Structure 1
Amino acid sequence: MRIEHDPALLDRTAVYRLLTSTVVPRPIAWVSTVSADGVDNLAPHSFFTISSVTPPIVQFTSVGRKDSLRNVEETGQFVVNLATEPLMEQINETATDFPHDVSEFDAVGVEREPGVRVKAPRVAGSPVALECELHSTLLLGDSTVVFGRVVHIAVDEAVLDHDHPEVTRLRPLTRLGKDEWGTLGGIRDLSRVRYADRSPTN
């Protein structure tokens, strides 16, 4: 038997828990930015996905007015650093609500490297960095969706299989419900079937 819910009758926390425990696993955008005053910021955002390929656009959602959003609005730039299993502890630490004038890079001890097309620093230990320029933002209720056009992609050659990032080398990290995190786990190959190749059924 299912338990039925009307979101309009639930408080915000209950809706949040139901959504974030059901929409899983969620990839993590480890977003680095720099403020107009020159303070670097680094924070994980698990409401994250690809929006478009041509042009290449990714999106993350800031729930509330967080430093990542403020900095992007001020500078028009950010970097999405791939969140990986070996960096899990540091990623979690950067989710702390540090004051605006404190850099998570320094507070947590994350090594920086300069961006190529943007002023925001990249995470040196992350195997993939997507440098982005702000495309647009969309306010939805208590959250703001940030769309960034990818203007530069940096990939560590150690995770490549020829020119293709290989997922077992990437070791991506995901968010689940509560304080749960997900690692890669099992992998299955299953090709998409074209309609013309479908077997007739009785």
Structure 2
Amino acid sequence: MFYKPSEGHGLPHNPFNAIVAPRPIGWISTRGSLGDNLAPYSFFNAVAYVPPQVMFASTTAKPDRDNTKDTVAQIRESGVFCVNMVTEALIDAMNTSSAPLDAGVDEFLAAGLEKAACETIDCPRVAAAPAALECRVTQIVPLLGHSNVLVLGEVTGVHIRPDCLQDGRYLPPDRLTRLGYKDYAAVRETFELDRPPGG
């Protein structure tokens, strides 16, 4: 089949985010005047090595947050955020934190998660996460469409859970990914591939 997104796909569910998959999940924690917040975003990835930078996009809004969500509202206020990585063991807590709770309700508490302090920014992180990236905002970019916002940040601190370091390499038990629809996958099988010379 072929379809133009502007004209609709005619399918029971939008296939777009299932086509661009798997995607890592950025479990974003923030702190603002209303308290601490935690929410997962599957439009997330790393975008540069030096300095290390990441991005995530927020694509919906809450009525109590002026055409955005708690995460972006608090990032606009503080200028910082933390990206917590997710493993299958954390899937229930991650899913719980995706609920559209009222602004000011702490998802860490709702999901039964322990907080840990960040080192370079004033923000909580998920203590049980296999890794966490402390970030300072570099840009907040409005995107086409209603409530679509791109957030870019420079990584200023990196936490790695000790059991996820093996022979000097980051090796978590698995990496939880989003596949679209209600589908997720825990990546456990990996292989190495050498690039061509100069690649």
Amino acid at match of 2:46: I
Q: 1 or 2, which has the higher helix percentage?
A: 1
Runs of 4 or more consecutive aligned structure 1 residues displaced over 6 Å after TM superposition = none
Give the equivalent residue in structure 2 for 1:6. Answer: 4
Query: Which whole-Å CA distance do the structure 1 matches of 2:150 and 2:71 have between them?
Result: 12
Give the equivalent residue in structure 2 for 1:27. Answer: 24
Query: Which whole-Å CA distance do the structure 2 matches of 1:195 and 1:110 have between them?
Result: 44
Whether 1:48 and 2:44 are equivalent positions in the alignment is: yes
Pairing 1:117-128 to 2, within 5 Å after superposition: 117-128=120-131
Could you give the per-residue CA deviations for residues 4-33 of structure 1, whole angstroms, max 9, x where no partner exists?
10111117x97x822111011010000000
Pairing 1:102-181 to 2, within 5 Å after superposition: 102-141=105-144, 142=146, 143-166=148-171, 169-181=172-184
| Structure 1: 5+ residue stretches without partners | 197-202
* Cα root mean square deviation, aligned: 2.0
Partner SS state of residue 74, structure 1: helix
Partner SS state of residue 138, structure 2: strand
Cα displacement (A) at 1:190: 1.9
Partner SS state of residue 145, structure 1: strand
Query: Which whole-Å CA distance do the structure 2 matches of 1:170 and 1:132 have between them?
Result: 24
Amino acid at match of 1:174: T
Whether 1:79 and 2:76 are equivalent positions in the alignment is: no
| Structure 2: 5+ residue stretches without partners | 61-67
Partner SS state of residue 87, structure 1: helix
Q: Contact 1:112–1:123 at 8 Å: present in 2 too?
A: yes
Cα displacement (A) at 1:79: 0.3
Could you give the per-residue CA deviations for residues 56-82 of structure 1, whole angstroms, max 9, x where no partner exists?
110000113111111000100100001
Amino acid at match of 1:158: D
Could you give the per-residue CA deviations for residues 108-158 of structure 1, whole angstroms, max 9, x where no partner exists?
111101111111101000021100111111111231110011111111121
1:133/1:170 CA distance change after superposition, 3 Å: farther
Q: Contact 1:17–1:177 at 8 Å: present in 2 too?
A: no
Partner SS state of residue 187, structure 2: coil
Cα displacement (A) at 1:185: 4.1
Q: Which residue of 60, 67, 71 corresponds with 1:68? A: 71
Partner SS state of residue 175, structure 2: coil
Cα displacement (A) at 1:195: 7.1
Query: Which whole-Å CA distance do the structure 1 matches of 2:43 and 2:30 have between them?
Result: 17
Q: 1 or 2, which has the higher strand percentage?
A: 2
Amino acid at match of 2:41: H
Cα displacement (A) at 1:193: 2.1
Query: Which whole-Å CA distance do the structure 1 matches of 2:2 and 2:72 have between them?
Result: 35
Query: Which whole-Å CA distance do the structure 2 matches of 1:187 and 1:155 have between them?
Result: 20
